[in-house]
Structure 1
């Protein structure tokens, strides 16, 4: 037994360091899953003890490795603690009209106007807040804006939305770590208090993005121009909602999210062009390290593109991995490897530990992990066919390679997309085979050419054909979105299922030898856990204006005055493909099985195991009640009814009492 284990360890030599980012990520997940904020000393104590244990066990190979994992885990936990501690708290935002002023940090074009982000905002003349505020302007606001301007208006502001159901999207946590405090809309036109100071780099970049966007929209219609703006400035807010939905249903949403694909295209174009030019001169080609020079120029091009598109976390993460690949070229190592991926993950988790909880981190790292491991497994097959094939054979192998790439990247990231968005796009392979090459070899090169021609006022020469290419992709997405089951809604996956799937995927990808195949049944087990998850029998929104009750194969929905549209959208996949059917209760109370819906307080509920009400409810002693007061205190609430037994799960139970949790209103 021990001999077999020793042979396996030897066969996997060099791979065990890949477990370090896994240990760190697991500890970060543990931190965010805690119901209350742990004391700051806890992480440092664990880190100190693990470092001491590592030093004490240094001469014992296996024990030393286990202690190294403990150091990585405690380091991740400690960094997550301190990242949270250094964020300013969320300020309470009162309801009603507020006099708002602040400095414009960002300007976004929307299909129906503009949206701005104000840094150091002041509410009703008070002290500037440490967190930003984002507001939508009136569509007819005539004030020309630049980043850095100080403006003022009257506005309605709102804090982050509470999760629509227990375990749903936590906007409060996302806003907490992105520096936002509130959202809202302007009630009047902006008043200019001070114009932007000159020569501020961040403001200059924001103004450059705004000028590029205005130039594009003046040449191209909104259907293609909004996507061109996204690709060249990172601002995707102007894309029409239906067009965005078509991209999602076709499995091409990643084209609209500037990240690794786009950085890879830009750096690939820069590398190819610079390497070609450097090798035109025989003396330079023979004496200069042209590959290293071209790689450096490609990295600089990627950094410039990242700065132009807003330096968001997904693109910075891709740039970090590209930097490691560049370093690998300089030292003569493989540009892309699992070790490089592991180092990039460690660096990013230490810099921004909250990204572990985000969609972009989970999908991008799972996709890259599968690509590296998947191509390593079939590299000899592809090499043999490329060496013996004709031109036609090479074209066929190129198409097969695109399909294989889409299968690996899409298949590995799909479980995380399903977990985060509760949907699956089954046609992502044909969509990507058509759209990705068109983006890489037509749209993006013409976009770069358009940027170069803008100072000469000749950008239309490149923008018009760029729009043709975008139009083809828009046409593809519109048609794929009409195919049967182009977007399959699935019910929310329990956290245990995605953790098991992730464990299986990691096990399958990081090892070389046959035991790696054990990851396949582990992933199947995670999928089975998701399939066996039972949706709730009753769901009540955080404001009790929406109440859903499952009755047989139907889900009945009661709505009060002005229900929250966001909550309705989030509820759509809770019961999978089962639609929500409006319920019509002619009396003040209607009973569905063991659940009583009561619009007013009453007595005589002995036949019900659960009472739900959109108003404060009294009476019915001894019966579980979910009313307006209950959800105001506990957030969205789900209930499972088995005969007379009722099991509740509240948003408060899942979120706990953390710094990013929205302060619940009280009656």
Structure 2
């Protein structure tokens, strides 16, 4: 089913509505015809599952409202606040069903960052009015880059921007459970940030409320470099710790009650308490997709405990994946789905294969401690190793020391930080939370120290170039074979994993790359990549470009400082950069590629020469060029994304950019 979902999202044109139904009907017909034969029946079942996944993804897409037409000037926004995010530099609000300049109510929400110093009290449910500059979904920084527009499309977000006037609260929120829950979360986060320093308080607020925007960028990068980013991403690890703590605590307390033990099995009482606590924690952290997915998986584990079945099984994992794909098919192409399910699959299969080696029964205290440490290292190795290829594909980086960092950070989170955080939540109504928050901050400070120490080791973060999709698909197939098969045939999965990893290393970065606005142009010039900046520096695009030329020496500078008279020649004259049309008055020589952040309007255009100016990227998005002997290979964001519901409409294309 997941394969069908991925095929749908990889298309460059939206299929007709009838295609999904036709595929399901055809697969069902094939299944009926081959039902008598085991192997063909299995293949037909897989085809039917893929067709169902394809259809479910299309249905989800059709159910979403159309893209918002975003004005290119300041607008007056009115609407109801559904979320307030606390940022290191201020606040950001999400407004549902807004009206722009008094027009019709829009189906998509807008997200606006308030002006610094605008301290007016605002809560979820309040009706507000303000003026803001809005921007539609941004195009990827390079062809094949991460598509933030698709994320915004399925999140129901139409535009983002920043306020240019103070916020005016026109009506306070009426009572309601959703707004009340949001207010509780915001109040908890504000209390934590008031009682704790920002460096530790922001992480505590993330763990207990799910608001992660207050974490300073430097600290977030420390966690990423050390391979501890999952500590900040509230999901399976966190809800597992919370529910396991509550389960153990409930069983311990129930053990003191003979009345309860004689009438209800302790495991049932503990399971109920654990599940209720998990639901409460999921609510406090926002009921976002990763936490809901993890809660569903934990509920299956508890159901297995109550029924006397295996708590963790591949069948339970499959049911959780099936449920999520039916509810949120758009999550399948994302890193959260792929990394979490690959990690859980590796853990289940790995401990089924060698878990007995970590048994501590009858061992001495020293041996037990050693096996506990070995089990922690093995767990980190399995989970991190299985999810690392997907992290490398999505984020273009790997953290080789993740096992070392997790050996300290994960036990500390499980035994100190989160239990104290749970205690703080209980004590908060009594105004005694500080007694738990202070030692919780000590534990977080140790984790921060570990993250900085590990992140400071040589090659702690290795950036890799973007990988083709088929490479990570081969890895996924190999992991499925290793995890799902029971006989020695499982080792057949090693081959596709090896091929996938090899394919990830064979990608060749483009020789020329131009940003979707044309203000950044990168050119491979001998052994150095030179990035020329025109106008305001686009730091976000530069950060997205950094892994593209991983391992290469990169030099960047303003066009006025790098180019003489607005002209720069790179790659032995094969690439010419022109600051504007006037700079091309003297001709373009033998350049095969001409780049300009301004419209050239025919300047330097001739047969066999590729001209990339402001109009080119306006029509095609970011553009990448490879030199292949005597021809050019051109890849544009337009050819990669195509025309899909989440892609902003493309301008008319006046000429075709393809192979030269």
| Range into which the TM-score falls when normalised by the shorter chain | over 0.9
Question: Residue 7 of structure 1 corresponds to which residue in structure 2?
Answer: none
Question: Residue 8 of structure 1 corresponds to which residue in structure 2?
Answer: none
Question: Residue 119 of structure 2 corresponds to which residue in structure 1?
Answer: 142
CA spacing shift, 1:588–1:214, aligned 2, 3 Å: closer
**In 2, distance between residues paired with 1:280 and 1:665?**
72
Q: Is the 8 A contact 2:358 2:372 kept in 1?
A: no
**Of 92, 104, 109, which aligns to 2:69?**
92
Deviations 1:348-404 (A, max 9, x none): 111111111111001101100111111111023223xx2241112111110100000
Q: Map 1:284-363 to 2 at 5 A.
A: 284-363=260-339
SS in 2 for 1:167: coil
Shift in Å at residue 653 of structure 1? 0.8
Shift in Å at residue 664 of structure 1? 4.2
Shift in Å at residue 265 of structure 1? 0.5
Query: Does residue 615 of the first structure (1) align with residue 607 of the second (2)?
Result: no
**In 2, distance between residues paired with 1:184 and 1:115?**
10
**Of 635, 640, 645, which aligns to 1:654?**
640
**In 2, distance between residues paired with 1:240 and 1:599?**
37
**In 2, distance between residues paired with 1:377 and 1:559?**
54
Question: Residue 585 of structure 1 corresponds to which residue in structure 2?
Answer: 563
**Of 535, 539, 544, which aligns to 2:518?**
544
**In 1, distance between residues paired with 2:70 and 2:554?**
33
**In 2, distance between residues paired with 1:293 and 1:504?**
40
SS in 2 for 1:196: coil
Q: Is the 8 A contact 2:358 2:374 kept in 1?
A: no
Question: Residue 48 of structure 1 corresponds to which residue in structure 2?
Answer: 25
**In 1, distance between residues paired with 2:166 and 2:480?**
53
Query: Does residue 633 of the first structure (1) align with residue 619 of the second (2)?
Result: yes
**In 2, distance between residues paired with 1:113 and 1:599?**
37
Q: Is the 8 A contact 1:43 1:74 kept in 2?
A: yes
**In 1, distance between residues paired with 2:245 and 2:490?**
36
SS in 2 for 1:380: helix
Deviations 1:77-102 (A, max 9, x none): 11011000000011110111111111
Shift in Å at residue 533 of structure 1? 1.1
Question: Residue 451 of structure 2 corresponds to which residue in structure 1?
Answer: 477
Shift in Å at residue 591 of structure 1? 2.2
**Of 209, 217, 233, which aligns to 1:233?**
209
Worse-matched range after superposition: 359-368 or 293-302: 293-302
Question: Residue 402 of structure 1 corresponds to which residue in structure 2?
Answer: 376
Q: Structure 2 unaligned runs (5+)?
A: 654-660
SS in 2 for 1:572: helix
**In 1, distance between residues paired with 2:247 and 2:190?**
30
CA spacing shift, 1:388–1:553, aligned 2, 3 Å: farther
**In 1, distance between residues paired with 2:634 and 2:485?**
42
**In 2, distance between residues paired with 1:227 and 1:387?**
37
Query: Does residue 371 of the first structure (1) align with residue 347 of the second (2)?
Result: yes
Shift in Å at residue 666 of structure 1? 7.5
Question: Residue 406 of structure 2 corresponds to which residue in structure 1?
Answer: 432
CA RMSD of aligned residues (A): 1.5
SS in 2 for 1:103: strand
SS in 2 for 1:547: strand
> TM (normalized to structure 2)?
0.95
Deviations 1:637-658 (A, max 9, x none): 1000134310001111110100
**In 2, distance between residues paired with 1:429 and 1:395?**
17
Q: Is the 8 A contact 1:89 1:659 kept in 2?
A: yes
Shift in Å at residue 665 of structure 1? 5.9
**In 2, distance between residues paired with 1:652 and 1:51?**
35
Question: Residue 559 of structure 1 corresponds to which residue in structure 2?
Answer: 533
SS in 1 for 2:549: coil
Question: Residue 576 of structure 2 corresponds to which residue in structure 1?
Answer: 596
Shift in Å at residue 279 of structure 1? 2.1
**In 2, distance between residues paired with 1:143 and 1:490?**
45
Q: Is the 8 A contact 1:632 1:666 kept in 2?
A: no
Q: Map 1:221-260 to 2 at 5 A.
A: 221-260=197-236
Deviations 1:166-193 (A, max 9, x none): 0101011000001111111111211111
**In 2, distance between residues paired with 1:530 and 1:55?**
40
Question: Residue 502 of structure 1 corresponds to which residue in structure 2?
Answer: 476
SS in 2 for 1:517: helix
**In 2, distance between residues paired with 1:296 and 1:55?**
43
SS in 2 for 1:133: strand
Question: Residue 463 of structure 1 corresponds to which residue in structure 2?
Answer: 437
Question: Residue 40 of structure 2 corresponds to which residue in structure 1?
Answer: 63
> TM (normalized to structure 1)?
0.94
Number of residues paired by the alignment?
Answer: 641
Query: Does residue 392 of the first structure (1) align with residue 374 of the second (2)?
Result: no
Q: Is the 8 A contact 1:572 1:579 kept in 2?
A: no
Q: Map 1:188-203 to 2 at 5 A.
A: 188-198=165-175, 200-203=176-179
**Of 139, 157, 162, which aligns to 2:134?**
157
Worse-matched range after superposition: 204-213 or 571-580: 571-580
Query: Does residue 517 of the first structure (1) align with residue 491 of the second (2)?
Result: yes
Shift in Å at residue 54 of structure 1? 2.3
SS in 1 for 2:599: coil
**In 2, distance between residues paired with 1:270 and 1:494?**
43
**In 1, distance between residues paired with 2:139 and 2:554?**
21
CA spacing shift, 1:504–1:604, aligned 2, 3 Å: same
**In 2, distance between residues paired with 1:42 and 1:160?**
28
Deviations 1:152-176 (A, max 9, x none): 1111111121100001010110000
Shift in Å at residue 612 of structure 1? 1.7
**In 2, distance between residues paired with 1:34 and 1:142?**
46
**Of 524, 528, 539, which aligns to 2:502?**
528
Q: Is the 8 A contact 1:226 1:239 kept in 2?
A: yes
SS in 2 for 1:192: strand
Question: Residue 390 of structure 2 corresponds to which residue in structure 1?
Answer: 416
Question: Residue 103 of structure 1 corresponds to which residue in structure 2?
Answer: 80
**In 2, distance between residues paired with 1:63 and 1:286?**
53
Q: Is the 8 A contact 1:142 1:189 kept in 2?
A: no
Deviations 1:216-236 (A, max 9, x none): 112101111111100110000
SS in 2 for 1:662: coil
Deviations 1:588-631 (A, max 9, x none): 33322322222234374452222222122223311121221111
Worse-matched range after superposition: 520-529 or 170-179: 520-529
CA spacing shift, 1:59–1:643, aligned 2, 3 Å: closer
**In 2, distance between residues paired with 1:142 and 1:163?**
34
**In 1, distance between residues paired with 2:492 and 2:223?**
35
Shift in Å at residue 493 of structure 1? 1.0
CA spacing shift, 1:643–1:585, aligned 2, 3 Å: farther
Q: Is the 8 A contact 1:443 1:470 kept in 2?
A: yes
